[in-house]
Amino acid sequence: MPELNDEKQLKIFRAFTKWLAVAITVLVGLPTLYAFAIRPTGSLYFGVQYNLDDHMVYAAWMRQAMEGHLTFENRFTTDPQPGLTLHLYFLTLGWIAKALGIPLTVTLARLAFTFSSVILLGRLVEFVSDKVYTRKLSLTMAVLGGGIGFLVWHDFGVQIVKPAPDFLAGILLSRLPNDVWQPEGFFLYSAFTNSLFMVSLSLILLVMISILKARDNKKAVIPGAICFGLLMNIHSYDVLLIALCLVGFVATLAGAKLITKEWFVRALLIGLGTIPFALYFVYVLKNDPVFQARAETLTYSPNFRQIFAGYVLLIVPALYALFNKQKTTLLAIGMIAVLMVGLNVAAANHLTDSYFLTMGVWVAVFGLVLASLFLLRPDKPGMALIAAWAFVGIIAPYFPALFQRKLTMMLSIPWGILAGVGMAMLLEKRERGQRNLLSALGIIILSATGVRWFSRETTLAKKNVSNTAVHSIYYSSDVDQILSILRPLGRNAVIAALPGVWSPSKDDSGNPMVDAFDTPLVTDLNPVLVAMAGARAYAGHWSETPNYTTKRKELSTLLMSPSGNLSSLGITHLVLPKDGLAKGRTLEGYGIVEFKGSEWALIKVN
Predicted local distance difference test score (pLDDT) of residue 4: 45
Q: Over the stretch 205-219, which tens digit does the pLDDT of each residue have?
A: 999 999 999 999 999
Q: Over the stretch 276-296, which tens digit does the pLDDT of each residue have?
A: 999 999 999 999 999 998 888
Q: Is 86 inside any structural domain?
A: no
Question: Does residue 2 carry a pLDDT above 60?
Answer: no
Which domain-ending residue is among 399, 425, 458? 458
Q: Confidence band (pLDDT; 50, 70, 90) for 297?
A: confident
Q: Is 7 inside any structural domain?
A: no
Q: Are residues 345 and 448 in the same domain?
A: yes
Residues 6+ apart with CB under 8 A from 470: 499, 500, 501, 502, 520, 523, 524
Q: H or E stretch including 573?
A: strand 573-577
Q: Over the stretch 354-401, which tens digit does the pLDDT of each residue have?
A: 899 999 999 999 999 999 999 999 999 999 999 999 999 999 999 998
Residue type, 490: G
Which domain-ending residue is among 458, 480, 496? 458
Question: Does residue 315 carry a pLDDT above 50?
Answer: yes
Q: Is 586 inside any structural domain?
A: yes
Question: Does residue 94 carry a pLDDT above 50?
Answer: yes
Q: What share of the chain is helix, strand, coil (3-state, %, to 5)?
A: 65, 10, 30
Cβ contact 597:481 at 8 Å: yes
Q: Are residues 487 and 431 in the same domain?
A: no
Q: Over the stretch 110-122, which tens digit does the pLDDT of each residue have?
A: 999 999 999 999 9
Which domain-ending residue is among 435, 458, 481? 458
Q: Confidence band (pLDDT; 50, 70, 90) for 352?
A: confident
Cβ contact 24:191 at 8 Å: yes
**CA 46 – CA 32 distance, rounded (Å):** 9
Predicted local distance difference test score (pLDDT) of residue 54: 95
Q: Are residues 337 and 374 in the same domain?
A: yes
Q: Is 468 inside any structural domain?
A: yes
Give the strand pairing for 494-497 and 536-537.
parallel
Q: Are residues 217 and 316 in the same domain?
A: yes
Closest C-alpha to 378, from 338, 336, 326 = 326
Sign for the CA dihedral angle at 53, 54, 59, 61 comes to positive
Q: Are residues 476 and 452 in the same domain?
A: no
Q: Edge-to-edge strands of the sheet including 591-596?
A: 536-537, 494-497, 573-577, 600-605, 591-596
Q: Are residues 453 and 518 in the same domain?
A: no
Q: Confidence band (pLDDT; 50, 70, 90) for 583?
A: low
Considering only CA atoms, give the Rg of the chain. 25
Q: Are residues 431 and 471 in the same domain?
A: no
Q: Please give the average per-residue pLDDT across 172-183, as a whole number.
A: 96
Q: Please give the average per-residue pLDDT across 486-496, as a whole number.
A: 97
pTM above 0.75, yes or no: yes
Q: Confidence band (pLDDT; 50, 70, 90) for 299?
A: confident
Predicted local distance difference test score (pLDDT) of residue 136: 96
Predicted local distance difference test score (pLDDT) of residue 559: 85
Question: Does residue 60 carry a pLDDT above 60?
Answer: yes
Q: Is 175 inside any structural domain?
A: yes
Higher pLDDT, 564 or 532: 532
Q: Is 228 inside any structural domain?
A: yes
Higher pLDDT, 401 or 462: 462
User: Would you tell me how many other CB atoms lie within 10 Å of the CB of residue 454?
Assistant: 18
Cα torsion 139, 143, 149, 150 to 10°: value is: -90
Sign for the CA dihedral angle at 224, 226, 232, 233 comes to negative
Q: Are residues 196 and 342 in the same domain?
A: yes
Q: State how many domains the chain has.
A: 2
For 20, 108, 205, 470, the CA distances from 522, given in Å and listed in that order, are: 41, 30, 42, 7
Q: Are residues 126 and 243 in the same domain?
A: yes
User: Would you tell me how many other CB atoms lie within 10 Å of the CB of residue 320?
Assistant: 16
Q: Please give the average per-residue pLDDT across 488-514, as a whole number.
A: 94
Q: Are residues 439 and 513 in the same domain?
A: no
**CA 74 – CA 430 distance, rounded (Å):** 58
Q: Are residues 416 and 493 in the same domain?
A: no
Q: Is 79 inside any structural domain?
A: no
User: Would you tell me how many other CB atoms lie within 10 Å of the CB of residue 542?
Assistant: 17
Predicted local distance difference test score (pLDDT) of residue 354: 87
Q: Over the stretch 549-567, which tens digit does the pLDDT of each residue have?
A: 999 999 888 888 888 888 8
Give 146-215 as a DSSP string: --SGGGG--SS-SB--S---HHHHHHTTTB--TTTT-GGGSHHHHHHH-HHHHHHHHHHHHHHHHHHHTT
Higher pLDDT, 579 or 345: 345
Question: Does residue 298 carry a pLDDT above 80?
Answer: no
Closest C-alpha to 241, from 301, 303, 160 = 301
**CA 403 – CA 549 distance, rounded (Å):** 20
Q: Are residues 417 and 526 in the same domain?
A: no
Mean pLDDT for the chain overall: 94
Predicted local distance difference test score (pLDDT) of residue 1: 40
Q: What is the domain range of residue 519? A: 464-605
Q: Is 66 inside any structural domain?
A: no
Q: Confidence band (pLDDT; 50, 70, 90) for 328?
A: confident
